[in-house]
């Protein structure tokens, strides 16, 4: 009885927030309703006995995917009121596609037969496993090892794809290169000169960088000339 009440509560809020995702005028509100929908779907998973999936839904979808959606909404910079002006023009096409989808769904739903013993399956404990998470863990890494490794490859492709698509070198940007910094020696930028009393550096050739490495690669700091006094030696 309580389970049914909780189920209907989650289901109604889920459907309602899903409708709001589509119909909200402000796209940021859509994303917030999407988060609400994720939470309610997690509640439904809990009722179905899939505790691990429910928690992952909260962690991965609410914590990460919804944030990504927010970024996308912010990045699109689309004039949404302008976008809605085409509603009347595209309504027939959209309605036709929706009608086809609805008929297909109705056809498949009418032909759907639920296996007689499937009602007990979600609550059948894996022998020996004390929890849903442990039952999953026993299957994923051994029985479904190839699918598991394929997951790893998909994640790898996603990682490389994101970098290839979005990372570009900015020549104007100043990056810190620790190796170059550590490789710098005083001889690159520092020249010791011995000046007599009252002489200026101009008479001795002026400020100039040591010939060598610094000629090819410019250094950000100007060359320093330090008077060669005995206490600065060594």
Q: How far is the CB of 81 from another protein (least distance, A)?
A: 12
Per-position DSSP letters for 158-213, written without gaps between them = HHHHHHHHH----TTS----HHHHHH--HHHHEEEE---TT--SGGGT-S-PPSSH
User: Which of 44, 225 has the CB closer to another protein?
Assistant: 44
Question: Minimal distance in Å, beta carbon 126 to another protein?
Answer: 10
Residue 123: phi, psi to the nearest 5? -105, 5
Nearer to another protein, 9 or 102 (CB): 9
**Closest to another protein by CB, 99 or 140:** 140
Instruction: Take residue 170 and report the two structure tokens written for it.
Output: 């900015």
Residue 106 parent element (H or E): helix 87-110
Question: How near is the Cβ of 199 to another protein at its closest, in Å?
Answer: 45
112: exposed, middle or buried (C-beta count within 10 Å: 0-12, 13-18, 19+)? exposed
| Minimal distance, residue 32 CB to another protein, in Å | 15
Nearer to another protein, 129 or 223 (CB): 129
Report the residue number, 108 or 142, with the smaller CB distance to another protein.
142
At a CB cut-off of 8 Å and minimum separation 6, what does 42 contact?
54, 55, 57, 58
Choose between 19 and 64: whose C-beta lies nearer to another protein: 64
Residues that bind another protein in the complex, under the rule CB under 8 A: 2-3, 6, 46-47, 49, 51-52, 56, 59-60, 63-65, 67-68, 71-72, 74-75, 77, 123, 128-129, 131, 133-134, 136-138, 140-142, 145, 148-149, 151-153, 155-156, 158-160, 162-163, 166-167, 170, 173-176
Cβ of residue 144: shortest distance to another protein, in angstroms?
10
Contact 193, 201 (CB under 8 A): yes
C-beta of 84: minimal distance to another protein in Å?
A: 16
Please give the span between the terminal C-alpha atoms of the chain, in angstroms, as a whole number.
Answer: 87
**Residues near 68 by beta carbon (within 8 Å), at least 6 away in sequence:** none
- Cα(13)–Cα(29) distance, rounded to whole angstroms? 16
């Amino acid at each position: 009885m309580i389970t049914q009440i909780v189920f209907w509560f989650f289901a109604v809020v889920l459907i309602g927030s899903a409708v709001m995702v589509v119909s909200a005028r402000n796209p940021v509100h859509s994303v917030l309703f999407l988060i609400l929908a994720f939470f309610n779907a997690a509640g439904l998973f809990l009722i179905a006995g899939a505790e691990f999936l429910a928690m992952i839904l909260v962690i991965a979808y609410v914590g990460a995917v919804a944030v990504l959606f927010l970024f996308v909404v912010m990045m699109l910079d689309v004039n949404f009121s302008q976008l809605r002006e085409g509603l009347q023009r595209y309504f027939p096409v959209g309605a036709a596609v929706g009608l086809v989808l609805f008929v297909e769904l109705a056809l498949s739903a009418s032909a759907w037969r639920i296996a007689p013993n499937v009602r007990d399956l979600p609550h059948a404990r894996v022998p020996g496993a004390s929890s849903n998470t442990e039952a999953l863990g026993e299957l994923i890494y051994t029985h479904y090892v190839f699918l598991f490794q394929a997951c790893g490859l998909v994640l790898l492709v996603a990682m490389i794809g994101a970098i290839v698509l979005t990372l570009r070198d900015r020549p104007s940007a100043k990056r810190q290169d620790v190796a170059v910094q550590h490789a710098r020696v005083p001889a690159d930028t520092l020249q010791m000169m011995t000046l007599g009393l009252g002489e200026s550096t101009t008479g001795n050739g002026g400020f100039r960088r040591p010939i060598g490495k610094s000629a090819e690669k410019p250094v950000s700091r100007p060359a320093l000339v330090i008077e060669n006094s005995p206490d600065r030696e060594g």
